[in-house]
Amino acid sequence: MPQVPSSQDKLEELTGLLELMTAILRRFAGLGDQDIDAGIDEALASIGRFSGVDRSYMFTIDGNVINNSHEWCAPGISPEINNLQQVPYETIHWWQPRLSAGESIYIPSVADLPDNRAAERELLSAQGVRSLIVVPLMGSVQVKGFIGFDSVREHRAWSKQAILLLRAIADVIIGGLLRRDALKALRQSEQRFSTLVRRASDVVMIIDADTSLRYLGPSACQILGWDEQPTPPTRYLDAVHPEERQLVHAALKRASGLPGEHVNIADHRLRGGDATYIWCQATATDLSTDPAIGGTVINAQDISRRKEAEQTLRHRALHDSLTSLPNRALLSDRLNQLLLQAQRFRHQVGVVFIDLDSFKLINDAIGHHAGDQLLVDAARRLLDHLALGDTIARFGGDEFVILLQGEQRSQEAMLVEAERLLEVLSRPFMVSGREHLITASAGIVISNGFDSPGDLLRDADAAMYVAKERGGGRVQCFDAALRTRLLERIGIAHDLRDAELRGELRVQYQPVFASKNRQLVGVEALVRWQHPTRGLVSPGDFIPVAEETGLIVPIGTWVLDESLRQLRCWLDGLDEPCDFSIAVNLSSLQLQSPGIATLVEELLSRHQIPSHLLALELTESMVMNDAESSSGTLHQLRELGVALAIDDFGTGYSSLSYLRQLPINLLKIDRSFIQAMTESERDRRIVAVICSLGHELGMKTIAEGIESETQLEMLRDMRCDLAQGFHLGRPTTSEEISALLARHQRQPPERQGEADADADAQADSKGPREPTADPSPIAIPTTQG
């Protein structure tokens, strides 16, 4: 055990420690932050020598480890500093609570530690320590480390007063450490700030109340290049682009009224050293009252790339990607502006809607890439011939819209301008080394400015469709009569919705005969609409509307279902079974429906109809315009056993290669050839070629619109298989077809032609026939499978 010091020894110890503490204080007060470590070494050595201990040291706490940072050893004592690095703090866990509480740890005799502190005793004994004292280094909120004094060769006793003085010395040391760390952090912060200012993308500057430049950060010259200008600006506002100068001045004025607050400045351009302008985003902070600043600080960022990206995105959002012309959104905006100007200055605006005629056929023939090039060339040609002040936009597909300013133009002049633009498109286009001729149709509507853009575009579009219906390659002006027609079509579309559910639709059936013996082989189903107030609406009036609105799909489904139901009734009423078939038309929208084959299969099953008794007719243009995509659906239908027919054959664009590949059973010769062949040798040859072509391809042929026995005889000679027309039988009710079917079953085939001819003669004696033009039905002619 250490000897208890006498009163005189205690007094001398305290006096000596006080002198040491005074010297240490004086020493630390004069130390620079770079000399703090040397001061700690001197303090530990002087205390160790004075107190007669064998080792004095300092440990720092770094998270979960402690490090022996300083050590003094008496002569003959081995240093331990190299062995005490990165020691887990948990190793002295018995000291942690007391050190964290700011308490010193004094162990007069290690050997006398009680058994509950055996681990602590063993650790200290292994290092040869007989007695020690540890004093915490307390920071502002937590312990930062500790200093300690070990006695190895003999015990050392410390008085309470001496321990307090050691604690005071520890406070001097931690004060020096904290001052050093603070100065080090300040220097690092200053260095970081200097580096950031030097390398920052922000332009930092200080301006006076009149925007005179008081300070420019290094990046201001680097980014703006002002140091390269012969005469750099002296005022911030002088460097701002004139278009944004007023906005920037207002923001700076607002900042001066809000001292210390960051005020956003509107994006603006600053003149650079090469006389070009750089887009900047900036804030202004009025620090005029801060003695270190004394002005308004502007932090600006170069956002030129962002602005370029925004302009690119804006251009993409408002322009067509293929032709780079304005798109619908920009067209609508410019049309709005023109209409407002027309109202204000009392002039007119012309809207021209242009659509290339038969572009899909050309596109399919030359390929989509070449078709796109043709569209680009057409757009460029229109743009090159556009009058000053007019606007052209791509509306979509092969549609273009041109806005004509009417400030100094009459309506007649606008119409002439539209015709001139169509003429521009009539010259040959060179695509992939070949010339291609196209025509275009246009609709024009003229407004005094008090119409909505949507209405004008709709009316011009409607007029364009009328131009197409009248043969294409022309301009159609939208007028009151056309508006009435458009409103009528809108009314029809409204009334037609759910007409099949209200029981307003009817199906009539036109008989189809074998040409060689007038044997009744089937019927063609024709839809009729009996409107409650309009009366009987012509299919030519409501079928196009149904196709435009998509109502053709539910109507077509109803017709197919009703036709198969009626066929089941006829088959059930026959005395003897026979192949009596029915033909129903498919619209292009029905053909494009994903489940059309499944629907046909379900309806055949529902009504127990053998699939070969159903023929589905498709127009020639519908099949050939989309032959590739429709081929899969046609093969699915053919696999069901359903017959497929091409209606109006000879009037559209046919590809013999597609015709050979598609699963078509029947070619239906258009009525225009039948009506003309008695007078035209050319039309007779066309009909004969179609019949021969059909047979060569393994198909049957049917002629529609037969109105005389002479036509029928010609068709027999050409070996046309099937025939229909007013001369043979008009569209009629299911009851009349039942009677006709029964009569044909009772009479032998060789007498059926005579009976039918007698019936036709009696009908002729009763009065004139119906007009020869049988309206286009939704359903189509039938044939045997």
Q: pLDDT for 57-79, tens place per residue?
A: 999 999 899 999 999 999 999 89
Residue labelled with tokens 């290669």 = 657
Sequence-ordered list of residues with C-beta below 8 angstroms from that of 569, at least 6 positions apart, any chain: 734, 738
CA atoms within 13 A on the CB side of 287: 16
Give the side-chain half-sphere CA count within 13 A for 617.
29
State the Cα–Cα distance between residues 271 and 235, nearest whole angstrom. 12
Q: Which residue has the higher pLDDT, 653 or 44?
A: 44
- pLDDT of amino acid 197: 52
Phi, psi of 678 (to 5 degrees): -70, -20
How high is the mean pLDDT of the chain?
85
pLDDT band for 652, please (50, 70, 90 cuts).
low
- 11-46 pLDDT per residue, tens: 777 787 788 777 877 777 777 767 888 888 988 998
Secondary structure (3-state) at 349: strand
User: Is the Cβ–Cβ distance between 447 and 455 less than 8 Å?
Assistant: no
Mean pLDDT throughout 241-269?
93
Question: In one letter, which amino acid is 760?
Answer: D
In the prediction, which pLDDT does 776 show?
A: 33
pLDDT at residue 231, rounded to an integer: 66
Q: With H, G, I as helix, E, B as strand and everything else as coil, classify residue 695.
A: helix
- The CA–CA distances, whole Å, from 187 to 39, 177, 183, 194, 648 equal 21, 15, 6, 10, 92
What pLDDT sits at residue 760?
A: 47
DSSP string, 618-679: EEHHHHHHTHHHHHHHHHHHHHTT-EEEEEEETSS---HHHHHHS---EEEE-HHHHHHTTT
DSSP assignment letter at 234: S
What CA–CA distance (Å, rounded) separates 478 from 79?
A: 107
**Residue 317, SS3 per DSSP:** helix
- Which phi and psi (to 5°) does residue 635 adopt? -70, -35
Q: For residue 434, name the pLDDT band (cuts at 50, 70, 90).
A: confident
pLDDT of residue 775: 34
529 three-state secondary structure: strand
Whether the per-residue pLDDT at 768 is higher than 60: the answer is no
| Pairing label, strands 277-287, 295-302 | antiparallel
Which segment of 7-11, 654-658, 742-746 scores lowest on mean pLDDT? 654-658
Tokens 């001066």, located at residue: 256
* DSSP assignment letter at 427: S
Q: Record the tokens describing residue 692, joined without a space.
A: 């021969």
What does the alpha-carbon distance between residue 614 and residue 617 come to, in Å, rounded to a whole number?
A: 10
Q: How many other C-beta atoms are found inside a 10 Å radius of the C-beta of residue 776?
A: 16
* CA pair distance 350, 475, nearest whole angstrom: 13
Residue 761 predicted with pLDDT over 70: no
pLDDT tens figures, 469-488: 888 899 999 987 887 887 78
- The torsion angles phi and psi of 700, rounded to 5 degrees, stand at -90, 155
Q: Given the DSSP bridges, would you call strands 440-447 and 475-477 parallel, antiparallel or unpaired?
A: parallel
**Is residue 546 scored above 80 in pLDDT?**
yes
- What is the spatial distance between Cα 157 and Cα 107, in angstroms, rounded to a whole number? 9
One-letter amino acid identity for 580?
Answer: F
Amino acid 566 reads Q
3-state secondary structure 67-113: EEEEEEECCCCCCCHHHCCCEEHHHHCCCHHHHHCCCCEEECCCCCC
Could you tell me which residue, 736 or 365, shows the higher pLDDT?
A: 736
* Local confidence band at 657 (pLDDT 50, 70, 90 cut-offs): low
- β partners of residue 669: 649, 703
> Per-residue pLDDT for 425 more than 90?
yes
pLDDT on residue 34: 74
Angle, CA 398 vertex, CA 374 and CA 390 arms, to 5°: 95
Distance (Å, whole) CA 176 – CA 137:
11
- Taking Cα atoms as reference points, which of 475, 469, 443, 471 lies closest to residue 458? 443
pLDDT reading at 748 higher than 60: no
Q: Is it the case that residue 7 has pLDDT exceeding 80?
A: no
pLDDT at 769: 36
Nearest residue to 755 (alpha-carbon basis) of 726, 728, 722: 728
Helices (H), 497-612: 539-549, 552-573, 588-592, 596-607
Of 155, 153, 40, nearest in space to 106 by CA: 155
Sign, CA torsion 620/622/626/628 = negative
Work out the end-to-end distance of the chain between its first and last CA atoms, rounded to an integer number of angstroms. 124
- Between 115-124, 494-503, 629-638, 716-725, the lowest mean confidence (pLDDT) is in 629-638
Strand ranges across the sheet with 295-302: 213-216, 202-207, 295-302, 277-287, 262-271
Task: Tokens for 308, please give them.
Answer: 């370029």
Q: Structure tokens of 218?
A: 């290094």
pLDDT band, very low/low/confident/very high, at 628 (cuts 50, 70, 90): low
Q: 405 with 349: CB under 8 angstroms?
A: yes
In angstroms, the CA 158 to CA 170 distance is: 16
pLDDT band at 413 (very low <50, low <70, confident <90, very high): very high
User: Which are the contacts of 90, defined by CB distance < 8 A and separation ≥ 6?
Assistant: 64
Rg (CA), the chain: 51
Q: What pLDDT sits at residue 771?
A: 36
Confidence band of 4 (pLDDT split at 50, 70, 90)? low
Identify any residues that bridge with 298 across adjacent strands, giving them in sequence order: 205, 284
**Per-residue b/e over 130-165, b at no fewer than 16 CB within 10 Å?**
bbbbbbbbbeeeebbbbbbbbbbeebbbbbeebeeb
Q: Tell me the pLDDT band of 194, cut-offs 50, 70 and 90.
A: low
Q: Which residue has the higher pLDDT, 756 or 6?
A: 6
CA dist., res. 771 & res. 785, Å (int)? 31
> Which of 159, 108, 105, 160 minimizes the C-alpha distance to 137?
105
Percent pLDDT > 90 in the chain is: 47
Type of residue at 779: A
Least confident of 257-266, 520-529, 659-668, 685-694: 659-668
The answer to whether 224 and 203 have CB atoms below 8 angstroms apart is: yes
Cα dihedral: 615, 537, 469, 686 (round 10): 40
pTM attached to this predicted model: 0.50
Which distant-in-sequence residues (6+ apart) come within 8 Å of 376 by Cβ?
Answer: 322, 323
Nearest to 725 by CA among 672, 772, 762, 692: 772
